[in-house]
């Protein structure tokens, strides 16, 4: 039975603080909502860091039983290494995006409050609360509710500018999300009918490889990969992410899709029986490998910078699925490396991709467009932004000493050690293709400006926020592996 552990109250704070900040900002108004959101997100980062330190120090997951009612009658919040790492990543990215957003959504004293600024500062802490619920929840139905909170919060942030093109692309996103939700709920209903509970800890080790469980797993997996935009269900992601404001694009690509990924890991490696995992892991990895190749090739052909970065997300998400057949291998050491590599890939991608989307937004503001062939002069006007974009690209390519390099090296090594060497070819090919489109952008930005092109300077604080995220994605790679032991706490 689950019991509240010392430090479990931190999980309650991680969930209630941002939710309370959202409600308080909604009541207080746009100008006050900005200060409330910034303060709450700074405290939320401290709470996330405390959770991570507590989990690593104890070597065991944190838990809090809500109201003292044990599952399945009640609910429990749980934070293992995966949840703690993703919560800390979300807190870092959200605070950086909030500081970045002061440039576009600030409400100076004496100025009229705007709808976009009011919505931005209210929905930022709402997104934090949804992420906390998605990472810390221990019940498959409540995790579904958390994903719906993520979806609708992300939709609101993506439509802040109120442009018709945004509404069109975000409605496509909503359609895929709702289809995914229906499939997930059907599968959850089958699991509940078969086992009488949806609590992950209670389901672990109890599920059977029978027809209802396999159908439930297939339906829930299909729903989650639709929300993650895994190939071939990726068509909604590029226009949705490219058409959103820069701050929203960073959150959509860096964090929102990771909520569904964490739930998919919970489903496959905590709930579903081993025969299902052994048989289906290769299928998911094959889809991921296809996403890496096709997403990278299509990104190479894009003429708009934000659309290129969006297709890069389709490709980079594919790497996360290469860990599925590696985790199912008999070699325990290789499986442990695959687990660490997959989670590190999720974290480093969140930091690097957030930096790249924010950098792309600054470049578009400075030049007045984001056409790849006309980026000349950007490096002269905003060298910090271009450097940050390049650093994020280096992490996506998997070049040392970035976090992306460590993640891809661990996955590559695990694939060779388990005899599944073909996945290593996919990793190397993806790195080369990523280098192609990153070089294309950096080379265009370093070119001389076109005649008549006038680029204007962007606020230095915004550039520094972008650079901080990019540097963080690089610093992950210089950490010794024992420092990443947090990720192994409570691993399957």
Spatial separation of the C-alpha atoms in residues 208 and 141, rounded to whole Å: 20
Closest to 17 (Cα-Cα) out of 45, 56, 49:
45
* C-alpha 130, offset from chain centre: 13
Within 10 A of 35 (CB to CB), how many other CB atoms are there?
13
User: Tokens at residue 372, please?
Assistant: 């790849």
pLDDT of residue 294: 94
Contact 434, 396 (CB under 8 A): yes
- Tell me, what DSSP letter sits at residue 382? -
Spatial separation of the C-alpha atoms in residues 56 and 50, rounded to whole Å: 10
Count of residues making up the chain: 492
* pTM for this predicted structure: 0.94
Name residue 77's beta-bridge partners: 64, 137
How buried is residue 447: exposed, middle or buried, by Cβ count under 10 Å (0-12/13-18/19+)? middle
- Tell me, what DSSP letter sits at residue 4? P
* C-alpha 352, offset from chain centre: 11
User: Tokens at residue 19, please?
Assistant: 């939710």
Digitized pLDDT (tens) for each residue of the chain, 492 residues in all: 567 888 888 999 999 999 999 999 988 876 788 899 999 999 999 999 999 999 999 989 999 998 778 877 778 899 999 999 999 999 999 999 999 998 788 777 766 777 888 889 999 999 999 999 999 998 999 999 999 999 889 888 888 876 776 677 778 888 888 898 999 999 999 999 998 889 898 888 788 888 889 999 999 999 999 998 898 888 888 888 778 888 989 998 989 999 999 999 999 999 988 877 777 888 999 999 999 999 999 999 998 989 999 999 999 999 999 999 998 876 788 888 899 999 999 999 999 999 999 999 999 888 888 888 888 888 888 899 999 999 999 999 988 888 999 999 999 999 998 888 899 999 999 999 999 999 999 998 888 876 666 677 788 889 999 999 999 999 988 877 666 788 888 888
- Alpha carbon of 372 to those of 37, 293, 433, 443: distances in Å? 35, 21, 17, 10
HSE-CB for 388 with a 13 A CA cutoff: 29
Q: Are strands 62-65 and 76-79 parallel, antiparallel or unpaired?
A: antiparallel
| Inter-residue long-range contacts of 332-335, CB under 8 Å, 24+ positions, other chains counted | 333/417, 334/413, 334/414, 334/417, 334/418, 335/414, 335/418
Spatial separation of the C-alpha atoms in residues 103 and 227, rounded to whole Å: 30
Radius of gyration of the chain measured on its C-alpha atoms: 21
pLDDT of residue 376: 83
Spatial separation of the C-alpha atoms in residues 152 and 129, rounded to whole Å: 13
pLDDT of residue 245: 87
Closest to 445 (Cα-Cα) out of 399, 361, 381:
381
| Inter-residue long-range contacts of 147-156, CB under 8 Å, 24+ positions, other chains counted | 147/181, 147/184, 147/227, 147/259, 147/260, 147/263, 148/181, 150/256, 150/259, 151/177, 151/181, 151/227, 151/256, 153/123, 153/126, 153/127, 154/127, 154/248, 154/251, 154/252, 154/256, 156/119, 156/123
Whether the link from the prior residue into 464 is cis, omega within 30° of 0, is no
pLDDT of residue 469: 95
Closest to 409 (Cα-Cα) out of 419, 393, 398:
398
User: Tokens at residue 348, please?
Assistant: 């480093």
HSE-CB for 290 with a 13 A CA cutoff: 12
Within 10 A of 218 (CB to CB), how many other CB atoms are there?
16
Angle at 272 between CA 270 and CA 274, to 5 degrees: 95
pLDDT of residue 166: 65
Contact 191, 216 (CB under 8 A): yes
User: Tokens at residue 35, please?
Assistant: 């200060």
Spatial separation of the C-alpha atoms in residues 216 and 268, rounded to whole Å: 11
């Amino acid at each position: 039975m689950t019991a509240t552990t010392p430090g479990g109250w931190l999980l309650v704070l991680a969930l209630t603080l941002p939710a309370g900040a959202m409600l308080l900002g909604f009541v207080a108004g746009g100008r006050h909502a900005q200060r409330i959101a910034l303060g709450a997100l700074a405290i939320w980062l401290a709470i996330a860091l405390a959770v991570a330190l507590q989990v690593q120090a104890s070597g065991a997951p944190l838990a809090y039983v809500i109201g003292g009612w044990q599952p399945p009658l009640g609910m429990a919040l749980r934070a293992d290494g995966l949840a703690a790492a993703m919560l800390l990543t979300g807190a870092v990215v959200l605070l950086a995006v909030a500081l970045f957003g002061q440039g576009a959504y600030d409400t100076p004293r004496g100025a009229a409050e705007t709808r976009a600024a009011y919505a931005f500062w209210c929905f930022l802490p709402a997104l934090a609360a949804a992420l906390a619920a998605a990472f810390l929840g221990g019940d498959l139905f409540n995790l579904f509710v958390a994903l719906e909170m993520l979806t609708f919060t992300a939709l609101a942030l993506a439509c802040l500018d109120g442009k018709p093109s945004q509404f069109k692309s975000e409605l496509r996103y909503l359609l895929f999300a709702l289809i995914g939700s229906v499939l997930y709920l059907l599968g959850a209903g089958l699991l509940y009918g078969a086992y009488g509970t949806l609590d992950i800890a209670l389901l672990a080790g109890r599920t059977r490889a029978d027809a209802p469980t396999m159908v439930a797993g297939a339906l829930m997996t299909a729903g989650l990969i639709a929300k993650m935009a895994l190939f071939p269900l990726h068509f909604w992601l590029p226009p949705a992410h490219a058409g959103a404001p820069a701050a929203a694009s960073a959150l959509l690509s860096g964090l929102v899709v990771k909520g569904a990924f964490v739930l998919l890991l919970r489903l496959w490696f905590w709930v579903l029986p081993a025969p299902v995992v052994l048989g289906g892991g290769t299928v998911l990895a094959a889809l991921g490998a296809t996403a890496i190749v096709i997403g990278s090739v299509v990104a190479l052909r894009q003429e708009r910078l934000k659309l290129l970065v969006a297709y890069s997300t389709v490709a980079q998400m594919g790497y996360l699925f290469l860990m599925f057949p590696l985790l199912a291998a008999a070699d325990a050491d290789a499986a442990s490396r695959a687990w660490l590599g997959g989670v590190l890939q999720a974290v480093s991608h969140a930091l690097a991709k957030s930096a790249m989307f924010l950098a792309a937004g600054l470049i578009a503001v400075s030049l007045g467009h984001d056409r790849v062939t006309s980026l000349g002069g950007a490096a002269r006007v905003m060298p910090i932004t271009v450097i940050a974009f390049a650093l994020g690209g280096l992490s996506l390519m998997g070049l040392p000493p970035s976090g992306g390099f460590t993640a891809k090296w661990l996955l590559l090594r695990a694939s060779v050690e388990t005899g599944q060497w073909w996945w290593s070819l996919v990793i190397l090919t993806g790195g080369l293709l990523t280098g192609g489109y990153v070089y294309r952008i950096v080379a265009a930005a370093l070119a001389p400006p076109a005649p008549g092109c006038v680029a204007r300077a962007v606020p230095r604080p915004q550039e520094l926020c972008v650079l901080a995220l990019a540097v963080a994605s690089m610093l992950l790679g210089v950490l010794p592996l024992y420092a990443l032991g947090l990720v192994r706490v409570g691993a399957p």
